[in-house]
Amino acid sequence: MVPDDTVLLTGLPSLLARTVCTELVQSDPRTRVHAIVRSRHSKEVDALLRNLAPDQRKRVNVVDGDASAIDFGLSGAEFKALAREVTRIHHCAQLSHLAVDIKGAERVNVGAAREALEFANTCTRLSALVFHSTAYVSGNRTGLVREDELKAGQAFRNIVEETTARAEKMMRGAMTVLPITVVRPATIVGDSRTGEVDRFDGPYLLIVLVVTSPPDMALPLPGRGDATLHLVPIDWVAQAAVAIGRDRRARGRTFHLVDPRPITTRRVFEIVAKAGGRPGPRGSIPANLAKAVLRAPGLERITKSPRALLETLTTPVTYDATNANELLASLGVAACPPFEAYADKLVDYVKGHIRRRRESKAPPPPGAEDPVA
């Protein structure tokens, strides 16, 4: 018997896909998930699924495949069987860390999106394809960015923005023939309840700077600190994306998932300093000098994106979220929680990670990636 809602999910074991998967099976007992997972990640995904309740876990089926391969790397029979069953797709497969090379970004961000479209065209019961994009397809645009805008003469600051925008362009081009919905979250940070995150980059540099500084040292702001920093916790992003994807009114539309009351970089720094038991920021340093500070050896072992952070801090942009606000309100989904409400969880998680790294004193094996770097 086919459940009322059968979802094809790409992107596991990333934290985004993991959180979306949890939200799918927790929010509706009729939902079943087929997750496309590369064989090398199968043990990791099995361990993640053990955190689900038994009833939820049995509704997640791990399919050995590759979201960026032709036909997801499945046999013809497997591909057709899934296409007959799937009613909804959540395409979360993406490479978003800025250390990614061009080849990898092309293969996953563009190639996997193309494969998701091919699969969607084969489905016989499809009601929605939710494409998880990013607000930063706006590139270096300033001022107000609307949800229905994509190509607006912007330049892209990195390969992640550029390849994600190309993938979104494909999705938007297919909206006339497929029930496609695009969700564009702003900068995703950890879980608002646990602080968990899978990679330290972007605004986490501010947290790392604060918690690794001497307790009585007031750090200067990197840059002027007056630009808005758009932050959203991953659990709220998953809740909003799943709710939007289940609503027919979302078809053919794009939704910015942002904090309706974003705060400045200075205010973020002040909140993080307070949560970390440190004095607030004092003064500021020019962006070029800030880049040098953020390349300190201790930080380079934890994160690889100081330039991206500074570009974010100095780009005065606002994201219109009229579509998202109206639809989510009608669905009873609360607005994005304010940063003040969960900053302490993020800081505690970073502290724990740094403490464990120091206690182990064991360098990672050559060529190994830090699991949250």
Residue identified by tokens 């390349």 is 295
pTM of this prediction? Answer: 0.90
Q: Is residue 146 within 8 Å of 197, Cβ to Cβ?
A: no
- Quick one: pLDDT at residue 205? 77
- Quick one: pLDDT at residue 294? 55
Q: Which contacts of 106-112 are long-range, i.e. CB under 8 A and separated by 24 or more positions?
A: 106/163, 107/68, 108/67, 108/68, 109/160, 109/163, 109/164, 109/166, 109/167, 110/163, 110/166, 110/167, 110/170, 111/68, 112/10, 112/67, 112/68, 112/167
Residue identified by tokens 């979201």 is 67
CATH of 5-189+231-260+323-327, one of 3.40.50.170, 3.40.50.720, 3.40.30.10, 3.50.50.60: 3.40.50.720
- Quick one: pLDDT at residue 365? 45
Comparing CA positions, the residue from 154, 246, 265, 149 lying closest to residue 205 is 265
Flag residues of the chain having pLDDT under 70.
Answer: 1-3, 220-223, 283-314, 361-373
